[in-house]
Structure 1
């Protein structure tokens, strides 16, 4: 389905993209700590909301 060259390109792209993302995150780490403090609460709330929707789906399916 894919040629060997496409797989090699995908591998190099993935490695380069990962390095660039890590570099960018490290560079902005101080800003993330300052402006995005407490984001884990939103993530937990979102997970609880998805869980409630799943429970509602299972409850009304019966």
Structure 2
């Protein structure tokens, strides 16, 4: 379905993309800690809400 060149490009692109994202995150880590303090609770609330909706779906279906 894909040629060998397309697979090589996809793998290289994914590796370079991951490296750039990791480098950028590490560079901005101080800013993240300063401005996004406490956002873990928003993530926990969001995941809990989605789990609650899924639980309701399986209970009432």
Same fold at TM > 0.5 = yes
Deviation at 1:55, TM superposition (A): 1.5
Structure 2 partner of 1:55: 55
RMSD of Structure 2 on Structure 1 (CA)? 0.8
Deviation at 1:52, TM superposition (A): 1.0
CA deviation vs aligned residue, 1:19-56 (integer Å, no higher than 9, x gap):
11011101110000000011110111011101110121
Distance 1:35 1:55 in 2: 34
Corresponding residue of 1:20: 20
Shift of 1:59: 2.0
Give the count of matched residue pairs: 61
Q: Which runs of 5+ in 1 are unaligned?
A: none
Cα distance in 1 for residues equivalent to 2:56 and 2:11 = 42
